Structure 1
Amino acid sequence: MRLRTVRTALAAATAALSAAACLTAAGPAAAHPNGSWENACSPSVSVRGFSDALDKTTYENTFVGNFSALAPHRDGTLAALSDRSALFTLDARTLRPRGVVPLADENGAALDSEGLVVDRDGTYLVSSETEPSVRRYSRDGRILGRLPVPDALRVAPAGRAAVNGTFEGLTLLPGGRTLIASMEYALSGDSAGIVRLQTWNRGRGGFTPGAQYAYRADAGLGVPEVTATPDGRLLVLERGFTAGVGNTVRLYLADPRHATDVGGTAYLTGQDGVRLVGKTLLADLADCPDLGATAKQPQPNPLLDNIEAMTVTGRGRGALDVLLASDDNQNAAQTTRFYSLRVRANG
């Protein structure tokens, strides 16, 4: 059940990461004299291995899959969120489930749970794209609170968001004071591809809405996940699907620190003076070596699937250890697959 082509081990995380211990690969990807990486997808990204060990399995009568988010616990295990209201704890080395907690809204209804943060006190912040919402849950799945959401980001007719197009990514910046949620697609009235990133600032009374930024996704793609890097930038997944062709999955490095706060801008249609979140392509994952992976449906690279979850698990020697997971949608033509990457985020 280990990631293929590499060994894995638990290692102490650096102080800049929110977890004290998490999954890391046993050493960096091998560098060749010409500067390329072994199993390189690009000069910035190498794929260290993958695992299909959890595909179409169950644990305690719960389907293991539909993964939409990952986050490290302080004890070195991994939290893995299903978009069907289940929160798993996984062994970081073997990926075997160690526990599962059901989640629900205030009325006991299931969530379309998409984003996940393990906060510094061990509680969970979970986004649902149904409304959308961000709720805080106890370790045993009790609702402890709910964050305010700007009206425009709500699903129409309450707001201007499309169904299944709201909060997908959720991440906490280093220091724990700023939370960021990414919309998957543009609001009605905004230019196509302009995705809003909503922030909340932590104060004595909890999180309150902060600045909002605009990020331009590539044509035809949405944003299923964002993850903070130790220096306060973001790793951003962009993803799309074309029937008969397969998935497009690209990894970007984004920097919101110099972007315009667009929270007061009703419609983003290319106005002068609006500075978008800057982004740099790290890799198109179709360019990765396939490592012998197989696909159940057409893909530009058989390694690809519906990749939706991402977390940083460690860093060292100028690179980050990044773990991805795909959402199989409980579909026979898709796979629950984990990917171990090394990412140079120095751009």
Structure 2
Amino acid sequence: MRLRTVLATLTAGLAAAACLTAAGPAAARPAAAVGHRATHACSPSVSIDRFSDALDKTTYRGTFVGNFSALAVDRDGSLAALEDRSSLFTLDARTLRPKAAVHLADEEGADLDSEGLAIDRDGTRLISSETEPSVRRYSRDGRILDRLPVPSSLLVAPAGRATANQTFEGLTLLPGGHTLLASMEYAISGDSTGIVRFQTWRRHRGHFRLAAQYAYRTDPGLGVPEVQATPDGRLLVLERGYTPGVGNTVRLYLADLHHATDTRGVENLTGQPGVRLIRKTLLADIGACPSLGATARQPQPNPLLDNIEGMTITGRDCTGRLKVLLVSDDNQNPVQTTRFYYLRVRA
């Protein structure tokens, strides 16, 4: 065997060993990749490593831990978990153990219906609320620093055309940190059912100003609870729905803003010619993932499922796949579960 072949073989072997080592305890699980195939496959593009119910129905210093609506990786590597009842938790990224909790409030001191979270490059927190809706900037200790403008059409009626509790659910910063994007959960009045608007802001002299707006079509009966920018500027989009007596539907899509029409000047989105929607590609139906022994307290098409609402990208594995963390919102309901899902996504 030639020296070059020996070196190539040795290098490949070391890389594979490093990948298994980096995976840590999860490498011993059946979900570890074997070539390009994972035994815990949800689809050709997505596999699930494991899930954790460690925080379900727990408290931290008297504060209920749950109601999670968004996740983000902080600058120190810890996990920020936003609950929709005005608390922002800091979690240990490895164990999920809460380390701190900060209360959030609006300008009058009232609680937020806090839904979306992005952490800016200076460590400030961008938080969306679906009540007005609004996007505010907070310091690490919970002080309001700024409030971003919102187009009048996206405000809740009668001020605008949106429906209460169906507005800004997802929030993400695009690579580079110059553009912020918020996703509406459902359509506004005058737009076709299933066409939701994604609003962006561009940073200018330290402040975010209104920028392009895009249209995204959901699957029938589903809304958008979360979006997350990928390192190449595309979007992971969660679509979610619930049918009483049946359970949740949760799908993960890859979406591309390129070539989509700026819909700021389009009053009603009704499928008219010339308006190009955001292109999307199905990555996985989470209901098709193996259940991994999960149990559900209410009917579900797969006991692994619950009311999945938060998502963040925590890094890449040694094969280049995105490591994606999802979390469910238990609504402080005894028949729902706070559950974290560890996915690997080939985008």
The within-5 A match list for 1:69-148 is 69-148=70-149
Matched residue of 1:257: which SS? Answer: coil
Structure 2 portions without partners, runs of 5+: 1-19
* Worse-matched range after superposition: 91-100 or 311-320: 311-320
Quote the Cα distance in structure 2 between the aligned partners of 1:190 and 1:24.
48
C-alpha deviation, 1:27, in angstroms: 9.7
The answer to whether the Cα contact below 8 Å between 1:10 and 1:76 also exists between their aligned partners in 2 is: no
C-alpha deviation, 1:257, in angstroms: 1.7
The within-5 A match list for 1:284-299 is 284-299=285-300
Q: Deviation string for 1:15-49 (max 9, x for gaps)? A: xxxxxxxx99669953446x431200000000000
Q: Which residue number corresponds to residue 3 of structure 1? A: none
The answer to whether the Cα contact below 8 Å between 2:32 and 2:49 also exists between their aligned partners in 1 is: no
Say yes or no: does 1:335 pair with 2:326: no
> One-letter code of the match for 1:303?
L
Quote the Cα distance in structure 1 between the aligned partners of 2:62 and 2:103.
12
The within-5 A match list for 1:1-20 is none
The within-5 A match list for 1:41-80 is 41-80=42-81
Matched residue of 2:270: which SS? Answer: coil
C-alpha deviation, 1:10, in angstroms: 12
TM-score, normalised relative to structure 2: 0.91
Matched residue of 1:164: which SS? Answer: coil
Q: Which residue number corresponds to residue 224 of structure 2? A: 223
C-alpha deviation, 1:203, in angstroms: 1.1
Q: Which residue number corresponds to residue 163 of structure 1? A: 164
C-alpha deviation, 1:59, in angstroms: 0.5
> One-letter code of the match for 1:75?
D
Q: Deviation string for 1:314-333 (max 9, x for gaps)? A: 01322100000000000001
The answer to whether the Cα contact below 8 Å between 2:298 and 2:335 also exists between their aligned partners in 1 is: yes
The answer to whether the Cα contact below 8 Å between 2:38 and 2:47 also exists between their aligned partners in 1 is: yes
Label 1:190 to 1:56 Cα distance change in 2 as closer, same or farther (>3 A): same
Q: Which has the larger radius of gyration?
A: 2
The answer to whether the Cα contact below 8 Å between 1:55 and 1:335 also exists between their aligned partners in 2 is: yes
Quote the Cα distance in structure 2 between the aligned partners of 1:25 and 1:32.
13
Q: Which residue number corresponds to residue 243 of structure 2? A: 242
Q: Deviation string for 1:160-209 (max 9, x for gaps)? A: 00111000000000000000000000000100000100000011041001
Label 1:323 to 1:10 Cα distance change in 2 as closer, same or farther (>3 A): farther
TM-score, normalised relative to structure 1: 0.91
The answer to whether the Cα contact below 8 Å between 1:10 and 1:92 also exists between their aligned partners in 2 is: no
**Structure ranking higher in helix proportion:** 2
Label 1:179 to 1:24 Cα distance change in 2 as closer, same or farther (>3 A): farther
> One-letter code of the match for 2:104?
L
> One-letter code of the match for 2:256?
D
Label 1:128 to 1:27 Cα distance change in 2 as closer, same or farther (>3 A): farther
Q: Which residue number corresponds to residue 306 of structure 2? A: 305
Quote the Cα distance in structure 1 between the aligned partners of 2:27 and 2:182.
32
The answer to whether the Cα contact below 8 Å between 2:227 and 2:238 also exists between their aligned partners in 1 is: yes
Q: Which residue number corresponds to residue 30 of structure 1? A: 32
Matched residue of 1:258: which SS? Answer: coil
Q: Which residue number corresponds to residue 15 of structure 1? A: none
Q: Which stretches of structure 1, 4 residues or more, deviate above 2 A after TM superposition?
A: 23-33
Label 1:27 to 1:104 Cα distance change in 2 as closer, same or farther (>3 A): farther
Quote the Cα distance in structure 2 between the aligned partners of 1:24 and 1:114.
32
> One-letter code of the match for 2:342?
S
Q: Which residue number corresponds to residue 259 of structure 2? A: 258
> One-letter code of the match for 2:324?
V
Structure 1 portions without partners, runs of 5+: 1-8, 12-22
Quote the Cα distance in structure 2 between the aligned partners of 1:169 and 1:336.
19
Quote the Cα distance in structure 1 between the aligned partners of 2:188 and 2:218.
13
Q: Which residue number corresponds to residue 320 of structure 1? A: 322
Quote the Cα distance in structure 2 between the aligned partners of 1:248 and 1:114.
19
Matched residue of 2:258: which SS? Answer: helix
Quote the Cα distance in structure 2 between the aligned partners of 1:31 and 1:94.
22
